[in-house]
Structure 1
């Protein structure tokens, strides 16, 4: 086992907001040096400044995970940071609620590119370092990756892809010193997910959570990720489904009023 001489390093994709930003804060507080990636460079730098001001080690790197060449350049950039102990594949998202019969294939392609191929790109680029460091690879999927619902076809298909990627990788890496953890959140209220899905319609985005007393927060998921990666090295959390108490399934939610 490698002897650590510095803080362990965690790479987080989609770290400019929501679950990614919350995960950066929680892992930094747990003693990790965090490398934050996302497309929105201004928000990345603001978060990095926040973390460094609090005494944590944080680095920002603007990155589109669907750009394979850019991901490979990022992997070279990481050479100066030594071993990579944790990779949190968080970049993702949903677009639209159209039926299968009416959906725009371009929206499906976009969701597949970021949720599946983006995860594949970063995983392939950093996997040798994770194995060398006896590290942990985290895939943020969704309960959408485990069960279908109307109006979710494209997102469900993409998250099923992310789920299968994690499950297959765990089989293929069996016997090697790296863990593959999948976290599948249910209803999480963040500042951007539903708004993006509803193409900027704030009323429709708000209606997703209407009457739900306590949907999950980004911090709930970030705390779950931090707990999972901090288990002893021989303990692998294969798949952890996290829902608010009010949500029994993707389509059964208790709403008050």
Structure 2
């Protein structure tokens, strides 16, 4: 693991999409970054990419830890592998299915709650002592506009993200007297390679329709930019919540398509 005396950021779900973009950006901002996700091969590729972009290591170093946020043992192994933590980005999560309640798959709902809510709790609980010890810790929870709105077919996902938002707000209250900031970043429509493909269980045609006719959906880098801005504010400044969506999106269910 890294031994420099620099701020360390742990990013969960770092193997693709918003997590990978956030890891790249935080390394560029000078953080040592711990990449954590299930797919070790993807993490190794990303680590090599970050190191190649800065062979001198002057910006930020990188380490890799295999992580399944649904496993208490895996989260404990992450905490044991990390020597210090100043920033925790809880990004691991996802949407599975788009069925109405009348035909919902309980397994999909269970999986969404396990990753988006219990996973957030496990990693936060495991790393919180280090965040407090750092003297200037910061927890960033990536939720969604779905954490503050509902839409047909989205009950399982919106319920999980509403719960994640509730955890975020509760953490802010519980840590008010500790040197730890808490921020929620709630993205709208972000076009990444995997989010919709996973939601529709590999159906590329259905996944493509999510962004059909939307000229400029957000990119993963747009969300990484929000995270980087929040965590680089002065230590006394807490950004409670950032709602970010493309100009074409007025609400979770209202999008201009051409």
TM-score, length-scaled by structure 2: 0.95
Following superposition, the deviation at residue 193 of structure 1 comes to 0.1
Match of 2:57 in 1: none
Match of 2:215 in 1: 213
Following superposition, the deviation at residue 91 of structure 1 comes to 0.2
Query: Whole-Å Cα distance in 2 between the matches of residues 216 and 166 of structure 1?
Result: 23
Query: Whole-Å Cα distance in 2 between the matches of residues 231 and 74 of structure 1?
Result: 27
Match of 2:125 in 1: 124
Structure 2 runs not aligned, ≥5 long: 55-59
Query: Whole-Å Cα distance in 2 between the matches of residues 158 and 132 of structure 1?
Result: 30
SS in 1 for 2:44: helix
Deviations 1:169-223 (A, max 9, x none): 1011111110000000000000000001111111111111111110000000001
Match of 1:72 in 2: 76
Following superposition, the deviation at residue 252 of structure 1 comes to 0.6
Of the three residues 156, 159, 164, the one matched with 2:158 is 156
Q: CA RMSD in A?
A: 0.9
Of the three residues 241, 244, 249, the one matched with 2:243 is 241
SS in 2 for 1:34: strand
SS in 1 for 2:212: coil
Match of 1:47 in 2: 46
After the TM superposition, which residues 133-144 of structure 1 pair with which residues of structure 2 at under 5 Å, given as runs? 133=134, 134-144=136-146
Deviation >3 Å, runs of 4+? none
Query: Whole-Å Cα distance in 2 between the matches of residues 61 and 131 of structure 1?
Result: 22
Query: Whole-Å Cα distance in 1 between the matches of residues 14 and 53 of structure 2?
Result: 17
Structure 1 runs not aligned, ≥5 long: none
Of the three residues 158, 161, 165, the one matched with 2:167 is 165
